Chains A and B, each alone.
Chain A
Amino acid sequence: MKWRLIPFEYEKPTWNTAWDESILEHVQKGLSPPTVRFYGWNPSAVIIGYFQCLEDEVDLVRAKERGVDVVRRITGGGACFLEHDLTYSVIAPESCFSRDILKSYEEICGCLVKALRNLGMEAVFRPINDVWVGQKKISGSAQTRKKGAILHHGTLLWKVDPERMFSFLKVDKAKLSDKFVRSVKKSVTSIWDEKPDIKKEEVLEEMKRAFLEGKQFESGTFSESEKKRAEELVKLKYEQHAWNHLRV
């Protein structure tokens, strides 16, 4: 089975979520090969989990004022603020990974662990869906399985600014003190904190190597059919108030 690599590019948040879903549908139908995709976010975005309530999670007024997009994704998990970060998606038939969901998290996150270790960081998989370096989180991820295919996507934190992050993500105001910001700084890290001299290209190269190790693959881009479907999903779903405000 030949995999497709879609190299890193910046995209609008509604397009990033739509590409994932469009590729997932195409993989389900056997119309697209299993795919590893790397991407960034332009503009910055808050992406919320499928089961979350938008108003509970995001300061929507501030996000709008500051040009930060807000989009619901099709996978569960928590809200994340994405700005300088590197995101990956692995989209493949379920048969490519363990049937056990927790084990498959470990398998896929294990690729990122390997990449980070190759870059000299003491990375470990931390169940359920995280990768830590030392005692700090550097990556979170989420997975869905639909009609025989898996979409697993995750983010590698490039640079963390807790004050800015939590100006968009809602937490109890009482928690948003210096003490809270200090505790976030103590529990979250980033490539910038761990390896300040490293370039994004080096990290992406190591991620590519780790995610595609032992697999036949070729670099490619989206098919016309994937593009058409992604365009529909942007317009009919990810830009829609009804989708983004799905849960109260």
Chain B
Amino acid sequence: MIEKRYKVPNGKLVVVKKVGDHIKIGGDFFLHPEESLEDIENVINTSAPTDLKEKLDRLIEEKKITLVGFTAEVLCNLVKEVRK
């Protein structure tokens, strides 16, 4: 398992883990609705690195997801790191 952690300044902790080929997200952030984490993980696990930010932004807009204490960019950076 590979794990990367990032505490957003004035925000929350985001943890990205790569277990086998699968990437999981965790941390002490808020996400509304909470169930959308599965959609986010699904996009992360099925997108090419070059498309990831665009696909996440689209998902967040389409599903009206609110990220509190972190951003899609933070997620993308951590995903990039665990995939290295």
In the complex, whether A28 has a CB less than 8 A from a CB of chain B is no
Roughly how many angstroms separate A74 CA and B34 CA in the complex, as a whole number? Answer: 8
In the complex, whether A1 has a CB less than 8 A from a CB of chain B is no
Q: Could you say which interface size class chain A belongs to? A: 20 to 34
CB of A76 within 8 A of CB of B31, answer yes
Q: How many residues on B have C-beta within 8 angstroms of the other chain's C-beta atoms? A: 22
Roughly how many angstroms separate A150 CA and B30 CA in the complex, as a whole number? Answer: 14
- Among A51-86, those with CB < 8 Å from B are 51-53, 56, 74-79
- B interface footprint on A30-49 (CB within 8 Å = 1, 0 otherwise): 00000000000000000001
- Among B1-40, those with CB < 8 Å from A are 10-13, 15, 17, 19, 24-34, 37
CB of B34 within 8 A of CB of A101, answer no
Determine which of A50, A78, A101 lies in contact with B68 in the assembled complex, contact meaning CB atoms within 8 Å: A101
Q: How far is the CB of B42 from chain A (nearest CB, A)?
A: 15
Instruction: Give the interface SS of chain A, mostly helix, strand, loop or mixed.
Output: loop
CB of B68 within 8 A of CB of A51, answer no
**Which chain A residues lie closer than 8 Å to B19 at the CB level?**
248
Determine which of A52, A53, A127, A145 lies in contact with B33 in the assembled complex, contact meaning CB atoms within 8 Å: A145
CB of A144 within 8 A of CB of B28, answer no
Determine which of B15, B30, B31, B34 lies in contact with A53 in the assembled complex, contact meaning CB atoms within 8 Å: B15
Which residue of chain A lies nearest to B1 when distances are taken between CB atoms in the complex? A248
B-side residues, CB < 8 A to A, are 10-13, 15, 17, 19, 24-34, 37, 66, 68-69
Give 4 nearest A-B pairs by CB, closest first.
A78-B28, A76-B30, A51-B26, A53-B26
